[in-house]
Structure 1
Amino acid sequence: MSKKKIQNQKSSGFFSNPGKWTVVVLLKAIALLPFGCLYFLSDVLYVVIKALVKYRSNVITENLKHAFPEKSENEILILRNKFYRYFCDVSLESIKLYHLSEKQLQKRITFSGTEELDAMAKERNGAILLAFHYNNWEWSSALQQQLTCRLLMVYNKMRDNAAMDDFLQNARQKWGGEAVQMGRAAKVAFQYFGKTEPVVLGLIADQSALASSQLWAMFMNREAAFFAGPVKIARKTNQPVFFQYAQKLGRGKYQYHYELLVEEPAKMDDKEILLRYIEKMEEVIKSNPEYYLWSHKRWKHKRPEGTALIQ
């Protein structure tokens, strides 16, 4: 495609999708708000989605009941309301990332375990980093500033909304990491590996996989499908697998932890690696369950007949 055609497409984007571009302009305006105003807006949003909209109330309640069958109806209700408050905060914090300054970043987030992650990635020509939808996962893109090797951040491209997709990718890549679309993740990673250029391949690996997946396991008391890609890449490259989780220290303040999950993945099978990842996720979720993304339809698929459940 010629340069002129590309420029014409960009210039006509607003007029072809004015509603989507207007939303992006609004998000950029929100990102400029100081934190005091941002959390005031979050408090208002909390009342709206809890009492008026009742955002995915049935989905959240069902997910919590399955995950914590020992809890009473009232305890589930309290937990759901805590989740709503967290959800409002983390949604606006994710938007704020677009205009988050380095000074603000240093005041609000710290890292633990990055030295081992960086050292092993350089020694082994790379590392696999498995994260999940817990606390503020978006701000972890600043991990690149703690590494001497390249951070590749795998993401799901937003369909039919290029304006929003561009907004999110610009926010994620502002600290120097490279956002890579999920379908291209393995190819891009192996290109770096082939150049013997160490990279940390970061994946939000608790995404809902298709029902046709061959990796099914119990996750928070329910059967769930998992993508095979992360563990297959780890086993093929024999690069160490690390686990990331975010600990909330206060409103808008987090510490990101990095722990070695599997040192020699080639010596293990896919099932063992996946079960270790699930075990760590459940351990973190159960410590403060309101900070997991319960509104996500994580358990929407049913395991096909004939597909074994990993034990």
Structure 2
Amino acid sequence: MQFVLFCLLYPILYLISILPFRLLYLFSDFVFFLVYHVFGYRKKVVRTNLALALPHLSEKERLDIEKKSYQHLCDMFLEMMKTMTISTKEIQKRFVFTNLEMVKELEKKQKSIALMCAHYASYEWVISMNGQINYQGYAIYKKVNNKYFDDLVKKIRSRFKAYLITTRETRAVIENNERNGNHAIYGFASDQSPQIRPKTYWSKFMGIEVPVYVGAELISKKYDMSVVFLKVEKVKRGHYEAKLELLSDDVKSVPDFEITEIFNRKVEAQILEKPEYYLWTHKRWKHMGKKKTN
């Protein structure tokens, strides 16, 4: 059944990917109408999240952000499909790193790099970095249930010298690379909600206490990595700018969880500046109020 579904959908995805950008965004407008006005995809989740995170705004202001966030979501989803056939030159023109020399300077130190980013603006086209640096790029991701689509996603990323590894594979891959002296850059999208475990770290995000991912910080400390935050801004439809900010080049000297806290504050600042470009459809605050105290 998985293969049949893949065979049915792949031609459609490919046809969408070869659309000129002007037509792609016209199609995105149509998809937005269906997703938002007809099906109301996760609308209840989005409204709850916006009310929790942005209580200082009026209902009308939040509704405006809601609509814009769905428009952006549809754009980004189709841009992800476009990655199947987009050229290296085109993607680098549309996703511009303003200070990529930072990575090149860090490479000279012969240390791996932990790149921390959020599900904000475009996190899909960050892969365009790999054709402009020397280090091999890895992205930690959640495996797609359909193995054929999972293979397709990996194949698309490999076009830009980016390799996907699951959270379960992460430590083994990094351990093997470090053992063999293969320094690399690892991308961590660390703004989602982890499962609650006995040693889960809790912190406030947008003023609400929630469990927080600390994997990027723990791994960077174990393997003495440089830690960089990637701030992405949407300049206009289909065009993004990314700025790299060094969080620490000496992580072992930084108090525990401070890197994680700094990352969260930077993500909050992005959200407050232009909330319409955040991924409001995921249940970031689903564990609110579940922290157990001793």
> What TM-score, normalized by structure 2, do the two folds share?
0.94
**Which structure 2 segments of 5+ residues have no match?**
none
Match of 2:247 in 1: 261
Q: Which amino acid aligns with 1:108?
A: R
Q: Which amino acid aligns with 1:137?
A: Y
CA distance in 1, matches of 2:2, 2:124: 29
CA distance in 2, matches of 1:49, 1:223: 31
Match of 1:9 in 2: none
RMSD: 1.6
Q: Give yes or no for the alignment of 1:190 onto 2:175.
A: yes
Whether the aligned pair in 1 keeps the contact of 2:115 and 2:186 (CA below 8 Å) is yes
Match of 1:305 in 2: 292
Match of 1:248 in 2: 234
Bigger CA drift: 287-296 or 108-117? 108-117
Match of 1:223 in 2: 209
Q: CA deviation at 1:115?
A: 1.3
> What does 1:142-221 correspond to in 2, within 5 Å?
142-159=128-145, 161-212=146-197, 214-221=200-207
SS in 1 for 2:84: helix
Bigger CA drift: 231-240 or 98-107? 98-107
Q: Give yes or no for the alignment of 1:235 onto 2:221.
A: yes
CA distance in 1, matches of 2:229, 2:7: 36
Q: Which amino acid aligns with 1:183?
A: R
Choose which of 43, 67, 86 in structure 1 pairs with 2:29: 43
Match of 1:8 in 2: none
Q: CA deviation at 1:16?
A: 5.6
SS in 2 for 1:17: helix
> What TM-score, normalized by structure 1, do the two folds share?
0.89
Whether the aligned pair in 2 keeps the contact of 1:239 and 1:265 (CA below 8 Å) is yes
SS in 2 for 1:270: coil
CA distance in 1, matches of 2:162, 2:3: 29
SS in 2 for 1:123: coil
Match of 1:33 in 2: 19
> What does 1:279-290 correspond to in 2, within 5 Å?
279-290=265-276
SS in 1 for 2:108: helix
Q: Give yes or no for the alignment of 1:71 onto 2:57.
A: yes
Q: Which amino acid aligns with 1:116?
A: M
Check 1:60–1:16 CA distance in 2 against 1; reply closer, same or farther (3 A cut).
closer
CA distance in 2, matches of 1:254, 1:16: 34
The total of aligned residue pairs comes to: 292
* Bigger fraction of residues in helix: 1
Quote the sequence identity (%).
29
The CA deviation string for residues 250-296 of structure 1, in whole angstroms up to 9 with x for no partner, is 11011121110122110123321110110111111111110000011
Q: CA deviation at 1:187?
A: 1.3
CA distance in 1, matches of 2:62, 2:89: 38
